[in-house]
Amino acid sequence: MDPVNFVILASILFAIGSAAVLLRRNAIVAFMGVELMLNAANLALVAFARIHGEIDGQVMAFFVMVVAAAEVVVGLAIIIAVFRARQTISLDEPAELKG
């Protein structure tokens, strides 16, 4: 199978992820969108590594996975702190900061 198809799939996943971040009002879903974008980048890196016939891109994907895991830790901690304070994680609800 042509590896270019995987690049196209990665672009579609990236677009879905960014749409989720920008359009969904639930913090967890928006955060899942970010994760989808990171994984799309991973898929693109691996597919390009296959196209170029080298393993650099695959090694990069490992780095990205580790960073994404660290990001989940911090992100969920903040989301849980917000939830404990307000009992909701809607992004429309917290509206103390305006202007």
Residues that bind another protein (CB under 8 A): 7, 10, 14, 17-18, 21, 27, 30-31, 33-34, 37-38, 40-41, 44-45, 47-48, 51-52, 54, 56-57, 60, 63-64, 67, 70-71, 74-75, 77-79, 81-82, 84-86, 91, 94, 96-97, 99
Which residue, 41, 34, 2, 1, is CA-closest to 20?
34
Nearer to another protein, 5 or 63 (CB): 63
Q: Quick one: tokens of 96?
A: 């103390």
Residue 62 CB, nearest approach to another protein (Å): 10
Residue 5 CB, nearest approach to another protein (Å): 13
- The DSSP-derived string for 2-37 is -THHHHHHHHHHHHHHHHHHHH--BHHHHHHHHHHH
> Rounded distance, CA 66 to CA 32, Å?
16
Nearer to another protein, 1 or 85 (CB): 85
